[in-house]
Amino acid sequence: MEAADHFYNPTTAPNQLWQTDFTYFKIKHWGWYYLSTVLDDYSRYILAWELCPGMQAVDVERTVQAALRASSLKAGQRPRILSDNDSAYVSRYLKEYLKGEGIDHVRSTPFHPMTQGKIER
């Protein structure tokens, strides 16, 4: 691994940056299901997850809300959120929700899976 493959500003404490992503899998005789997850970048602790029938922005919203409830954040503290560029994460609905919560949203560079390596594992 080269030095350029590391984050320029790595996290130094919990709740500075959360990663979120969907994992999808097919259950025999049931069909496709999607696991929405929020992970703390520093501790790699799964703050919240939800099994969803689709990959919608409202599914991400529910998972982020659960993560906010589960976190030890004080009033006014908000993490940044890192995601890929799936349609749920680039939607106007999610953008407005995160803005209303005071959460900055960072999206990974397309075709660069190392950016979200922790949650992809």
pLDDT band of residue 76 (cuts 50, 70, 90) is confident
- Is residue 8 predicted with pLDDT exceeding 90? no
C-alpha count within 13 angstroms, C-beta hemisphere, residue 89: 20
Mark out the alpha helices in 1-121 (DSSP H runs): 57-70, 87-90, 92-101, 117-120
- Is residue 6 predicted with pLDDT exceeding 60? no
pLDDT band of residue 74 (cuts 50, 70, 90) is confident
- Is residue 71 predicted with pLDDT exceeding 70? yes
Mean residue pLDDT of the chain comes to: 87
* CB of 81 closer than 8 Å to CB of 103: yes
**Cβ–Cβ contacts within 10 Å for residue 36, how many?**
24
Looking at residue 119, its pLDDT comes to 63
